[in-house]
Chains A and B, each alone.
Chain A
């Protein structure tokens, strides 16, 4: 199972919006609405930010939104804040009854 494809880094200024894309295949992202996104800060465990393509768990800011089109999922952070600086990983359930992560995207707030 190959990893999902994410850009290595994305940056933006405070207040701006950024979007991270996550590309999979017809065996994972393209066929299931089970895409999730995780935020990981240095030295910390990952935190669930989005599940089921576009749903936010309780407590996650509405500045985080997500969607999917065919084999590509995306995470948008609006009103970028310094606290959003972290690594972000996409993940999808697959047709092999496994899960696959993207390589991770480092978000830098300029």
Chain B
């Protein structure tokens, strides 16, 4: 079955970088669109980024404004989110999500927590 395991979260100072990883199993990453979604503590869901199965096109939320980069390594079935110039408002749980094929967010990982604090 589909399994997504995120890692790479932690405490980082404002302005710092972080790279989040998502290990995928139970399906072929290269054949699937993939998203990152985040959730600030006690708040709602916010879509962050998407890459279709081809991987060459990437879409981002305006709020992450060129600071985030989604990428994938299909050879090791791993999705990444490079987050740069981190701000306090980037604090939250970051979920890796497999697209369901009809523009829905089909399968979710358990998330990795990013805390931006000095």
Contact = CB atoms under 8 A, between A and B. Distances in A.
Interface stretch (A18-26, A47-55, A77-85): A47-55
Interface string A12-47: 000000000000000000001010101010000111
A104 B106 contact: no
B108 A104 contact: no
A36 B105 contact: yes
Nearest to A89: B45
Nearest to A47: B108
Contacts of A101: 44-47
Interface residues of A, number: 27
A103 B62 CA distance: 17
- By secondary structure, the A interface counts as strand
Nearest to B108: A45
Contact of A48 (B95, B105, B111): B105
A37 to B, nearest CB: 9
Interface in B13-54: 35, 44-47, 50
A97 interface: yes
Interface string A87-99: 1010101000111
Given A45-B108, A99-B35, 9 more contacts: A34-B102, A34-B103, A36-B104, A36-B105, A51-B106, A87-B44, A89-B45, A97-B50, A101-B44
Interface of B: 35, 44-47, 50, 59-62, 95, 100, 102-111
Interface of A: 1, 3, 32, 34, 36, 38, 40, 45-48, 51-52, 55, 57, 87, 89, 91, 93, 97-104
